[in-house]
Amino acid sequence: MVEAPIGLFGGTFDPIHFGHLRLAEEMAEQIGLSQIRFIPAGTPPHRSRPRTEARHRLAMVELATANNARFVVDSREMAQTQLSYTVDTLHDLRRSFGLTQPLCLLLGADAFLGLSNWHRWRELFGLAHIAVAHRPGYPQSTWKDNMPEVLRDELEQRWAHPDDIKTCAAGLIVMRPITALDISATYIRDTLRAGHNPRYLIPDVVLDYIHTHQLYLPSAP
């Protein structure tokens, strides 16, 4: 099988920042992804706090990815009014791309460590590979201690080399270091609400959008 794998990158993107963009870019290079689909979460089940309206988060992802030919914005989770689970989104994508196309879910280390709490998480391995990017604050030396045993078992069985991703449609796990950027959307929201400037952590077009639409104002929740 020689189809180039497609990367799937979900997130709240509230807002999208350079940590997200470098993850997508570097994982695409390291794994040889033909495209990366950014999939902003509609109503993610693991988040309780109020979020920026979906249309704004989507618009910011569109602006930030517009000049990269490999980056595609996939708004399928936005259209849903009920909770959107990754497993359902992957079933949907699998239906679109067929059984043989390698699909690769991209996750930061923090997201991976919580994977066994996700809805029907074991089903994910039948639908896509998982590529985990290192993230500052979650050093590799601590992963084993912070990983539930059920997840560690899966990791041991599925651990693979990036070149293996293109040889089958789903089921492998790779872990890759990327340029360590200690940026989070939480920090950017807090910075804006404190009246400070998060420039150089997010693309200028995203910052312009935030100002135009008066997002993350000091008085906002």
Among 68, 181, 191, 193, binds ligand ATP (CB under 6 A): 181
Among 23, 113, 147, 172, binds ligand ATP (CB under 6 A): 23
d(CA 171, CA 32): 17
Does residue 111 touch ligand ATP according to CB under 6 A?
Answer: yes
CA distance readout (Å), 40 to 14, 75, 78, 200: 9, 7, 7, 22
> 165 or 183, CB closer to ligand ATP?
183
The residue with tokens 């997200």 is 20
Among 65, 84, 86, 184, binds ligand ATP (CB under 6 A): 184
Among 31, 73, 104, 107, binds ligand ATP (CB under 6 A): 107
SS3 content of the chain, % helix, strand, coil (to 5): 45, 15, 45
Does residue 19 touch ligand ATP according to CB under 6 A?
Answer: yes
- Compute the least distance from the CB of residue 65 to ligand ATP, in Å: 14
State the DSSP string of 42-94: SS-TT--S----HHHHHHHHHHHHTT-TTEEE--TTTT-SS---HHHHHHHHH
Does residue 110 touch ligand ATP according to CB under 6 A?
Answer: yes
User: In terms of residues, how long is the chain?
Assistant: 221
**Stretch of 7-15, 67-75, 144-152, 192-200 lying at the interface with ligand ATP (CB under 6 A):** 7-15
- Binding to ligand ATP in span 114-133, by CB under 6 A: 133
Does residue 166 touch ligand ATP according to CB under 6 A?
Answer: no
Q: Are 78 and 58 in contact (CB under 8 A)?
A: yes
Does residue 13 touch ligand ATP according to CB under 6 A?
Answer: yes
Count other Cβ atoms within 10 Å, centred on residue 37. Answer: 21
d(CA 39, CA 156): 28
- Compute the least distance from the CB of residue 108 to ligand ATP, in Å: 2
Q: Which of 218, 8, 29 is nearest to 102 (CA)?
A: 8
Does residue 14 touch ligand ATP according to CB under 6 A?
Answer: yes
d(CA 5, CA 165): 7
> 22 or 91, CB closer to ligand ATP?
22
- Compute the least distance from the CB of residue 198 to ligand ATP, in Å: 12
Give the footprint of ligand ATP on this chain (CB under 6 A).
11-14, 19-20, 23, 107-108, 110-111, 133, 135, 181, 183-186
